[in-house]
Amino acid sequence: MAKLNESENSNINLISLGTEITGDIKSDGDIRIDGILIGNLTTKGKVVIGNTGKVKGEVVCKNSEVCGEVDGKINVSQLLTLKLSSKINGDIITDKLSIEPGARFTGNCNMTDDNEKEGQAGAAKRPITKKEVAGEK
């Protein structure tokens, strides 16, 4: 049985310390950032932002572990882990959130799982009946 936060893809991309990239990145594999990314990052895998890593832009991924800095929105479909040294300045959207004491986060957080999203969408599409308005069943 596979762990929830493991990626099915074995491709790992590395942006190492001393490397600065300006532009958007799209990938199917996992990404580790120890350098600087100025742009948006979208991947179907896991994103790890190391202690020296900095991202200025939006991050969209399946799972993420942040030790460094993010200045922008983070959208994680499963688990987002904020480590002791992390600094987040932006909004978070995730299913599950783990925050270690000492992590710094400034922004809004919205936590909803896929089942809730589907339930809300279904409820919004169904018209309300006169009986429901009157409190009858």
pLDDT tens digits for 87-133? 999 999 999 999 999 999 999 999 976 545 544 444 444 555 555 55
Q: What is the pTM of this model?
A: 0.76
Position 72 pLDDT exceeds 70: yes
The backbone region for 78, taken as left when phi is positive above 0, alpha when psi lies in -120 to 50, beta otherwise, is alpha
Read out DSSP for 8-72? S---EEEE-TT-EEES-EEESSEEEESSEEES-EEESSEEEE-TT-EEES-EEESEEEESSEEES
* Domain locations along the chain: 12-134
